[in-house]
């Protein structure tokens, strides 16, 4: 039979699969008018059990295939995810933004967010505390995100946020203000943000990253605790 065939319990009992059952058992069906005693050969003893065993083995193989597929999916997710925060890593974020651009998203904001004076947290309290701070920063980002948004930890204390449909600086500032207030209240920390509009500031992820990084540098140079839009001089205080 062409290809692999995995019979279901119903298929085993159906004529389609059963028409070939004599060959699998090693016997033959009686001709018309004959009984099994007259001309047909009986299946050899014990052979029907082989079908049950074979089906059991097939179920085991199917279960194994599902397990392997699940493991491959898990590994693929790990390759695109930051293990500390559960956000995208750089590779996953780049793929997501590129996918949206390639599939016709009209407007979006590309944000780079950097904690202010985060090195002092690690130096004074140790990296475990620093890791907790990064996780707590990621949590309100995730809570305020929409399904169309994408967030990532690019490395260290640098985060990225892709906000589809966002083209208003004041509306963006309001969204970031809530996250800033929460972090300041619970950790006594602040952050700075550089933003680039798509497609005005760049047509691909590398261009957007460069423009947002320039805006982030401007926000930090202007005193930190603020949002700067690429191509603008104004700093929106957080």
**Contact (CB, 8 A) for 164 and 100:** yes
Active site residue 157: yes
Residue ranges of alpha helices (H) inside the chain are: 9-13, 15-18, 21-25, 47-80, 90-102, 118-125, 127-144, 169-187, 205-221
CA 73, 79, 83, 89 torsion: positive or negative?
A: negative
User: Of 82, 114, 149, 157, which one is the catalytic site residue?
Assistant: 157
In whole angstroms, how far apart are CA 225 and each of 43, 72, 132? Answer: 83, 42, 20
Q: Strands 108-115 and 150-155: what pairing?
A: unpaired
* Rounded CA separation 36/90 (Å): 71
**Contact (CB, 8 A) for 220 and 192:** yes
* Rounded CA separation 106/108 (Å): 7
Catalytic residues: 157
């Amino acid at each position: 039979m062409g290809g692999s065939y995995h019979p279901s319990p119903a298929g085993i009992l159906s004529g389609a699969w059963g028409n070939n059952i004599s060959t699998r058992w090693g016997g033959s069906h009686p001709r018309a008018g004959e009984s099994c005693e007259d001309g047909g050969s009986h299946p050899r003893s014990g052979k029907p059990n082989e079908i049950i065993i074979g089906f059991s083995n097939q179920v085991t193989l199917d279960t194994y295939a599902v397990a392997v597929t699940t493991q491959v999916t898990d590994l693929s997710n790990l390759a695109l995810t930051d293990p500390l925060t559960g956000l995208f890593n750089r590779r996953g974020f780049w793929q997501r933004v590129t996918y949206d651009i390639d599939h016709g998203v009209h407007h979006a904001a590309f944000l780079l967010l950097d904690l202010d004076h985060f090195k002092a947290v690690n130096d004074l309290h140790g990296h475990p505390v620093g890791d907790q701070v990064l996780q707590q920063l990621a949590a309100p980002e995730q809570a305020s995100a929409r399904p169309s948004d994408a967030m990532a930890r690019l490395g260290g204390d640098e985060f990225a946020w892709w906000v589809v449909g966002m083209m208003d600086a004041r509306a963006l500032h309001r969204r970031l203000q809530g996250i800033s207030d929460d972090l300041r209240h619970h950790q006594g920390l602040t952050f700075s943000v550089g933003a680039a509009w798509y497609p005005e500031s760049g047509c691909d992820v590398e261009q957007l990253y460069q423009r947002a990084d320039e805006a982030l540098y401007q926000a930090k140079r202007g005193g930190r605790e603020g949002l700067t839009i690429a191509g603008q001089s104004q700093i929106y205080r957080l």
